[in-house]
């Protein structure tokens, strides 16, 4: 970000494998921080504004192709970009490499023991295949590696997210 375009309040991406507590952390931050922050759950935004390409019934999720040439991908970025300029945005999504570096001041990657994650995803009613894939992703640190590859490592922070005590201490 250039010197002439420094935000007064940072934009933060809270990311992690589904079930690691992104939305809970984002909402807690908005409620407890003295700065004026705005939580944007990208998954909800995609559904509300119909920014997806299709619905995958096998995975029970909306599809937004992260190919930069994809119309849905462009729509998501176009919807968010005006909000990023003033700062104070908490972007909550299971992937972070979608967001241009110029938008992001801090990337928080939430991590969770895979057995805790499995239980959380089962409680959500996820299909077994989806639980298995998300668990494998967590074990392989996929989201953390994507964050480190996409942003300056100095702005990437990894936090444990296994219970209320982690939510409050993070």
Q: What percent of the chain is predicted at pLDDT more than 90? A: 71
Q: How far is CA 15 from CA 3, 5, 8, 12, 58, in A?
A: 27, 25, 22, 10, 23
pLDDT of residue 68 exceeding 90, the answer is no
The pTM of the full predicted model, rounded to 2 decimals, is: 0.90
Q: What pLDDT is stored for residue 4 in this prediction?
A: 45
Q: What angle do CA 73, 74, 78 make, to 5 degrees?
A: 125
Q: Count CB atoms within 10 A of the CB of residue 109.
A: 24
Confidence band, pLDDT 50/70/90 cuts, at residue 152 = very high
Confidence band, pLDDT 50/70/90 cuts, at residue 69 = low
């Amino acid at each position: 970000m250039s010197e002439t375009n420094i935000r007064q309040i940072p934009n933060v991406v809270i990311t992690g494998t589904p079930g690691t507590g992104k939305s809970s952390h984002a909402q807690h931050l908005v409620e407890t921080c003295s700065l004026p922050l705005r939580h944007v759950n990208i998954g909800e935004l995609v559904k509300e504004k119909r920014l997806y390409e299709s619905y995958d019934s096998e995975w029970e999720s909306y599809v937004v192709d992260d190919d930069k040439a994809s119309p849905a991908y462009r729509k998501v970025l176009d919807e968010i970009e005006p909000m990023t300029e003033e700062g104070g945005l908490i972007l909550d999504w299971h992937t972070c490499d979608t967001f241009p570096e110029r938008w992001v001041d801090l990337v928080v990657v939430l991590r969770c023991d895979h057995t805790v994650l499995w239980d959380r995803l089962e409680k959500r009613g996820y299909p077994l295949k989806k639980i298995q894939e998300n668990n494998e992703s967590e074990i392989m640190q996929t989201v953390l590696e994507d964050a480190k590859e996409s942003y300056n490592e100095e702005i990437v922070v990894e936090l444990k997210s296994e219970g209320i005590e982690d939510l409050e201490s993070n």
